[in-house]
Structure 1
């Protein structure tokens, strides 16, 4: 169960995310909307931290133990959000954009996983990669 529930959380959350990104009013500035998004995200993250980490060293101590990744993730998450909003405004459909971007990310991460983390590229992964490329072709036909 501990292997499945995170995937379910990602799938459900990502589906709702794309509906929200597609439904943002056309006249709304995406970055103004993101300030609200991240304010809510900050409050929610802090609440979850304090709810789930009773007796821990404390939030400031946790921050001191972090490396560069949350800082870079802050920029990257804004880029992902803005990219999705602008893609939907450019005419992408909600039943195509997530599939195309996921396939492209899968292809890129297969290579990056090999180069950065020495993860194996197996024949079955190459077949999966080929399926992604073929799927992209048919999605854009």
Structure 2
């Protein structure tokens, strides 16, 4: 993504990227299930695939924007992964009633401190 030309529309580039990924995934999907089981495999998919797609596009376009803003590859990746981990911890707690330990809460604070150090 860092090598993407500055004058390319990021959503157009992501569209091509995900079309290629969709074609590859479709081929693997058909070969893994067999052509006669495609409808059975597709019938088991629910809303989570759509939400995951929205999250992935949000993350990817976020990478494009931070790289265009001049961030280093290593810094952008660390910030995005820390942010994602913290958000997923909160989502897991509120939506899925997962237990959050004191160690995880401490980990969030350590991550936040790390973000402060990165941005100094």
Q: TM-score, normalised by structure 2?
A: 0.87
Q: Which runs of 4+ in 1 moved over 6 A?
A: none
From 78, 83, 87, the equivalent of 2:62 is 83
Structure 1 residue 45, shift from structure 2 partner:
0.1
Alignment partners' CA distance in 1, 2:53 and 2:36: 23
Specify the alignment match of 2:25 in structure 1. Answer: 45
Structure 1 residues 114 and 67 mapped into 2: Cα distance closer, same or farther (>3 Å)? same
Gapped regions of structure 2 (runs ≥ 5): none
Alignment partners' CA distance in 1, 2:36 and 2:115: 47
Alignment partners' CA distance in 1, 2:115 and 2:66: 16
Between Structure 1 and Structure 2, how many residues are aligned? 120
Gapped regions of structure 1 (runs ≥ 5): 1-20
SS in 2 for 1:23: coil
Specify the alignment match of 2:82 in structure 1. Answer: 103
Matched, 1:138 2:117: yes
SS in 1 for 2:74: coil
CA RMSD in angstroms, aligned pairs only: 1.8
SS in 1 for 2:99: coil
Specify the alignment match of 2:6 in structure 1. Answer: 26
Q: For 1:57-114, what per-residue CA distance to the aligned partner results, in whole angstroms no more than 9, with x for missing partners?
A: 5223322222112223333322222121111101221010111111122222222211
Specify the alignment match of 1:126 in structure 2. Answer: 105
Say if 2:33 and 2:41, in contact at 8 Å, map to a contact too. no
